[in-house]
């Protein structure tokens, strides 16, 4: 039972590290997945290494996927392999979590139209223009999609995501 957590340079430390340990506490393996299997640096200079490149990950082997925020989503959305991994998890209706600017990845993957979600207030227009209904609350749950606004939402966001992993 593995949960992939996307990583790219300029990730938000809280939004990556909190889910990384939270899914492990819930009994899942946390797998850091980047465009390449290499070391990435956060906004504050913390270094973490991706375990695998997105193109090497079998979405069928995942229990769910987490997309942290920061400025990493703007970089993640440039990689077709990352977007295909997100689309595959979404098509399989596996738990999919996104926080802060991670909505950009969902937009680029083409999975927000007709859905209700949240994200950092500065990407509200992007989400709405992509066909989503935006709510300024957290967590926002739409089927298997669990979204949140920023680090202050981490506890409720991860509780909802872990609930989805467990079938709640």
Active site residues: 101
Give the DSSP H or E segment for 55: none
Q: Kind of pairing, strands 62-67 and 133-134?
A: unpaired
- Give bridge partners of residue 62 from the DSSP assignment: 2
CB 135 within 8 A of CB 118: yes
Say whether the peptide bond before residue 139 is cis (omega within 30 degrees of 0).
Answer: yes
Residues 132 and 41: their CA atoms lie apart, in Å, by: 31
Count the residues in the chain.
168
- Give bridge partners of residue 148 from the DSSP assignment: 99
Structure tokens at 12: 């938000």
Q: Directed axis angle between helix 154-165 and helix 13-25, to 10°?
A: 40
């Amino acid at each position: 039972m593995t949960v992939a957590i996307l990583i790219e340079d300029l990730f938000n430390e809280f939004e990556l590290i909190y889910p990384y340990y939270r899914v492990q506490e819930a009994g899942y393996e946390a797998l850091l997945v980047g465009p390449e299997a290499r070391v990435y640096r956060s906004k504050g200079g913390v270094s973490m290494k991706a375990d695998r490149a997105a193109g090497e990950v079998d979405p069928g082997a995942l229990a769910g996927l987490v997309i942290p925020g920061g400025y990493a989503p703007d970089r993640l959305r440039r990689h077709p392999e990352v977007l295909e991994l997100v689309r595959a998890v979404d098509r399989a209706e596996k738990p999919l979590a996104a926080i802060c600017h991670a909505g950009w990845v969902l937009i680029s993957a083409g999975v927000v139209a007709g859905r209700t979600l949240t994200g950092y207030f500065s990407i509200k227009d992007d989400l709405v223009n992509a066909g989503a209904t935006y709510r300024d609350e957290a967590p926002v749950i739409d089927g298997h999609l669990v979204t949140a606004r920023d680090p202050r939402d981490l506890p409720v966001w991860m509780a909802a995501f872990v609930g989805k992993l467990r079938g709640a």
